[in-house]
Structure 1
Amino acid sequence: LLGPNGAGKTTLISVICGLVTPSSGTISVAGHDIIRDYKAARSTIGLVPQELHTDAFEKVIDTVQFSRGLFGKPRDDAFIEKILRDLTLWDKRNSKIMELSGGMKRRVMIAKALAHEPRILFLDEPTAGVDVELRKDMWRLVRRLRETGVTIILTTHYIEEAEEMADRVGVINKGQ
């Protein structure tokens, strides 16, 4: 989803994810109405927001495991380990969030979004303010997720990223 700053990309994602109530119309995700069947719709979605929202005093592994539990998924230490290894976070699993760099915190947000094994993953401006290494790692991860059947919807205002990563590009400007 390509568009300039302030175009409405984050607002659209927030409505689709059920974080903001739409002013009109309906939205269905995987056949579930986002208002009437919120829990079922939301369980199919992973969201990595633009802003980092985590408990600074919580350990990496605890916050990722907690996110999995929020969606009613049983504990799966092997799956959580795989996610953390894929995101090069395994060595930081016992670190508190506040001890991590900005790039590592972004990786934690991705791990949290993947913890419940969503079919659709929203990445809101995933490369904003990240270093080149993390950008490359994220694109590798996105490619792997796509290969496993996860639908990736990302917002960006970089046309180069959209062209490189997307099967399809939607353009939004002034909410249209």
Structure 2
Amino acid sequence: MAPIISIRSLSKTYSNGFKALDNVSLDIEEGEIIALLGPNGAGKTTLISIVCGITNPSSGQVLVAGHDVVKDFRKTRGEIGLVPQELTTDMFETVVNTVSFSRGLNGKKPNPALVESLLRELTLFEKRNNALRELSGGMKRRVLIAKALSHEPRILFLDEPTAGVDVALRKDMWQLVSRLRQTGVT
């Protein structure tokens, strides 16, 4: 069986000459959980950004579910959910609208039952009608996770998932990752 993500000879050099990635090759099997470890500036976020189709590589190739992330952007992007390091959404929008909108951005039809289920699992249901600006930092992190899962991706990237969260939320997030893995999410 082919890996769900296949990275071959991937390099990225930014316009200022900084080489963030240098000839990286990696295969990730479906259902596998991996951690990218390294100091700040090591290229972890750059690698994730290339796989997710946010940044273009300087050279090399990335296949997601057998599709090239550059040539088949729409196919690969629909397979991936990304939880970024920082909240990048309208702070005046409600939790439920933000998660529902993310689902639509990925070409999925509305599914209020799925959105409700995500909000309940992430203990956000009671705050579903609150604006994002009214939430604590940990709850905002949970909204990012709900957004990333709203379109039912096969692959989930968590970029710095436990940064700035308390011990209880950290434990809840790893339990969620474990449950997602049991359903086949990589």
SS at match of 2:143: helix
Q: 1:54 aligns with which of 89, 96, 100?
A: 89
State the partner residue of 2:52: 17
Which protein is richer in helix relative to its size? 1
Match of 2:145, as an amino acid? Answer: I
Matching of residues 1-176 of structure 1 within 5 Å:
1-151=36-186
Cα distance, 1:74 vs. partner? 1.0
Match of 1:34, as an amino acid? Answer: V
1:40-80 residue CA offsets vs partner (Å, 9 max, x unmatched): 00000000011111100000000000000111111111111
Cα distance, 1:86 vs. partner? 0.5
Q: Distance in 2 between matches of 1:27 and 1:87?
A: 31
Which 4+ residue blocks in structure 1 deviate beyond 6 angstroms?
none
Cα distance, 1:82 vs. partner? 0.6
With structure 1 as the length reference, what TM-score do the two structures score? 0.84
Size of the aligned set, in residue pairs, is 151
1:118-139 residue CA offsets vs partner (Å, 9 max, x unmatched): 0000000100111111101101
With structure 2 as the length reference, what TM-score do the two structures score? 0.80
Provide the aligned C-alpha RMSD in A: 0.6
The structure number with the bigger radius of gyration is: 2
Q: Distance in 1 between matches of 2:108 and 2:53?
A: 20
**Structure 1 unaligned blocks of 5 or more:** 152-176
Cα distance, 1:5 vs. partner? 1.7
